[in-house]
Amino acid sequence: MNWLLVVLGGALGAPTRFLVDRAVQRRQSTEFPWGTFTANTLGCLFLGVLTGALMTGEGGARYEDFVATGLCGALTTYSTFSWETVHLARTGQMVRAAGSAASTVLSGLGAVAVGLMVARAVWG
């Protein structure tokens, strides 16, 4: 049953990632990967809320399988983030590459922290 929850979460996360990426990138005139940045940050926020909920006893393994592994696993993408950062560097855009790497890591950590605070406020 757990694998089915992961599959269902992934079936929601993958198209959400695609739609978020396209919606954000369509509004940008820069090569900076704002779409991937947004999808990864959003996924980290969801993971922060889920982690906070689980820490207070809410949810359980089924929520973790569906949201964390399935939905957020498909929504966030380390491989695309890495590829886009390397692409920026290989095309001579070192400042953008460094900015992408630093801002993605920092925003992800910040989003998890915000998610934990939200969970604490809701279920605390």
Which residues are part of a known binding site for Na(+)? 73, 76
Whether the CB-CB separation of 33 and 100 falls below 8 Å is answered with yes
Whether the CB-CB separation of 36 and 81 falls below 8 Å is answered with yes
Three-state DSSP class for 102? helix
Count of Cβ atoms closer than 10 Å to residue 24 Cβ: 16
Spatial distance between the Cα atoms of 122 and 35, rounded to a whole number of angstroms: 29
Spatial distance between the Cα atoms of 96 and 22, rounded to a whole number of angstroms: 20
